[in-house]
C-alpha cells in the first residue's frame, strides 16, 4: 500500500533542528518519512538516523523511502514513550536532535478501514498501532455516560459533550455503535442544527477526543519530553509539531518549566531550589504554516511548531 503523507512545516522544521553533519537524530513519529528524508540529507554519510513509529505500515513505507540515503538508519516499530529503552538497546547515549510530529498522519486519515475519518464509512477503530487493544468502538460501547462526557469535553473541547454522550447512551441501548457513519449521525442528532452550521464539521471534536483517548496521546507527551532532555547534547534541539490546542499547551508549558531557573513559590524571599534551566526556548511564539502551504495542504492549517535547545 502506498503511504501518502505530506510533511507539514518541512522547511521550517529542518531549519529549526539545525542538523549537524555526522549527527545523531531521532524522528520519533516517522510517518511517511518526509521529515526523516530531509534530516538524512542534512546529516550525511557519517550521521545516524533513528526512526520510530507505532504504525507498522509507516515503518515499511519509510524503509523503502530511506533505502538509498547515506546515513546509517535504524527504524523501530514502537511507541515513542519507550524512547529511553530504544536508545539503550541501540547503545546510544546522546542525541543531537529530536523531532515529534504529533497527531494522525494523512495516510491514516485517508485509509478508510482505520476508522480515523468521519468522512468515510469504516469500523470505529482509530488505533495508531495494532499493539493497542482498545478501539474507539470499545470506548463508545462501554464507558459510562459521565466518562464519555468528560472524554469528549476535555479531549475534544466540545461544548455539546453532554448531549453527545447522552445520545450515544440512548443509541447503544438499541444496538452497539460499530461504524464511523453511525457515530456521525449520533453527533449530528445531538448538536442543534443552528450550531452545526458554524465552524468545522460537527464530528471533528468528538472524533479527535476518541483518537486521543484510544491512543493515550496526551499522557505520554509531557513525560517523554522530561525523559529525553538528559539524553540531548548541549546545543541539541527538540522540535515538536502539534495540531490542536491541548497538545500545544502541554509542549509550551513543559518547555517553559524546563527553561525556568527557579521553581520556588513566588512568595519565597530567597531562592533555595537550586534549579538550573535545562532548555532555552527558541520559538517564543509557535511557527505556523504559510498561506501558500495551507493552500496546498489543508491539514497544515492547525500545525504549530515549537523548538527548544539544550543548554
pLDDT in tens, 190-237: 999 988 888 889 999 999 999 999 998 898 999 999 999 999 999 999
**Is the pLDDT score of 114 beyond 90?**
no
Contacts of 200 (CB under 8 A, 6+ apart): none
Q: Both 150 and 174 in a single domain?
A: yes
Structure confidence at residue 130 as a pLDDT band (50, 70, 90): confident
Where in the sequence is the domain holding 142, given as residue range(s)?
133-215
- The per-residue pLDDT for 1 is 47
Question: Does residue 58 lie in a domain region?
Answer: yes
> What is the tally of structural domains in the chain?
2
Q: What's the distance, Cα to Cα, between the start and end of the chain in Å? A: 43
- The per-residue pLDDT for 299 is 86
- The per-residue pLDDT for 113 is 67
Question: Does residue 117 lie in a domain region?
Answer: no
Are 293 and 6 within 8 A, CB to CB? no
**CATH number of the domain enclosing 90:** 3.40.50.150
**This prediction's pTM:** 0.86
Q: Both 103 and 225 in a single domain?
A: yes
How much is the average pLDDT of 251-270? 83
**Is the pLDDT score of 3 beyond 90?**
no
Q: In the structure grid, which three cell numbers stand for residue 286, read together?
A: 509557535
How much is the average pLDDT of 42-47? 97
Q: Both 180 and 262 in a single domain?
A: no
Q: Both 297 and 235 in a single domain?
A: yes
- The per-residue pLDDT for 172 is 97
% the chain with pLDDT above 90: 80
Lowest mean pLDDT among 113-117, 158-162, 183-187, 271-275: 271-275
**Is the pLDDT score of 270 beyond 90?**
no
The residue ranking higher by pLDDT, 169 or 4, is 169
- Among 215, 233, 256, the domain-final residue is 215
Nearest to 6 by CA among 28, 38, 52: 38
- Among 215, 242, 266, the domain-final residue is 215
Question: Does residue 68 lie in a domain region?
Answer: yes
Structure confidence at residue 105 as a pLDDT band (50, 70, 90): low
How much is the average pLDDT of 83-101? 98
Q: Both 50 and 192 in a single domain?
A: no
- Among 215, 244, 270, the domain-final residue is 215
Q: Both 150 and 282 in a single domain?
A: no
Amino acid at each position: 500500500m502506498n503511504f501518502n503523507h505530506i510533511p507539514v512545516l518541512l522547511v521550517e522544521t529542518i531549519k529549526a533542528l539545525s542538523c549537524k553533519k555526522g549527527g545523531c537524530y531521532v524522528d520519533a513519529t516517522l510517518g511517511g518519512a518526509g521529515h526523516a528524508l530531509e534530516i538524512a540529507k542534512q546529516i550525511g554519510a557519517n550521521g545516524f538516523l533513528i526512526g520510530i513509529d507505532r504504525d507498522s505500515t509507516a515503518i515499511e513505507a519509510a524503509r523503502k523511502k530511506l533505502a538509498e540515503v547515506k546515513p546509517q538508519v535504524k527504524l523501530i516499530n514502537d511507541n515513542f514513550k519507550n524512547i529511553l529503552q530504544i536508545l539503550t538497546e541501540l547503545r546510544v547515549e546522546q542525541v543531537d536532535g529530536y523531532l515529534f510530529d504529533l497527531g494522525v498522519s494523512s495516510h491514516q486519515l485517508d485509509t478508510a478501514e482505520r476508522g480515523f475519518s468521519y468522512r468515510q464509512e469504516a469500523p470505529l477503530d482509530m488505533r495508531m498501532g495494532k499493539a493497542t487493544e482498545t478501539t474507539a468502538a470499545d470506548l463508545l460501547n462501554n464507558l459510562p455516560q459521565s466518562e464519555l462526557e468528560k472524554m469528549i469535553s476535555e479531549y475534544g473541547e466540545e461544548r455539546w459533550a453532554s448531549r453527545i454522550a447522552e445520545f450515544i447512551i440512548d443509541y447503544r441501548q438499541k444496538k452497539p455503535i460499530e461504524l464511523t457513519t453511525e457515530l456521525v449521525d449520533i453527533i449530528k442528532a445531538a448538536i442543534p442544527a443552528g450550531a452545526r452550521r458554524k465552524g468545522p464539521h460537527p464530528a471533528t471534536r468528538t472524533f479527535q477526543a476518541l483518537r486521543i483517548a484510544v491512543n493515550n496521546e496526551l499522557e505520554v507527551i509531557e513525560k517523554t519530553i522530561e525523559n529525553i532532555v538528559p539524553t540531548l547534547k548541549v546545543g541539541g534541539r527538540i522540535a515538536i509539531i502539534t495540531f490542536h490546542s491541548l497538545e500545544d499547551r502541554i509542549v509550551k508549558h513543559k518547555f517553559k518549566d524546563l527553561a525556568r531557573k527557579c521553581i520556588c513559590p513566588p512568595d519565597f524571599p530567597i531562592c533555595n531550589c537550586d534549579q538550573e534551566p535545562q532548555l532555552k526556548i527558541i520559538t517564543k511564539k509557535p511557527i505556523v504554516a504559510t498561506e501558500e502551504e495551507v493552500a496546498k495542504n489543508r491539514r497544515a492549517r492547525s500545525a504549530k511548531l515549537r523548538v527548544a535547545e539544550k543548554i
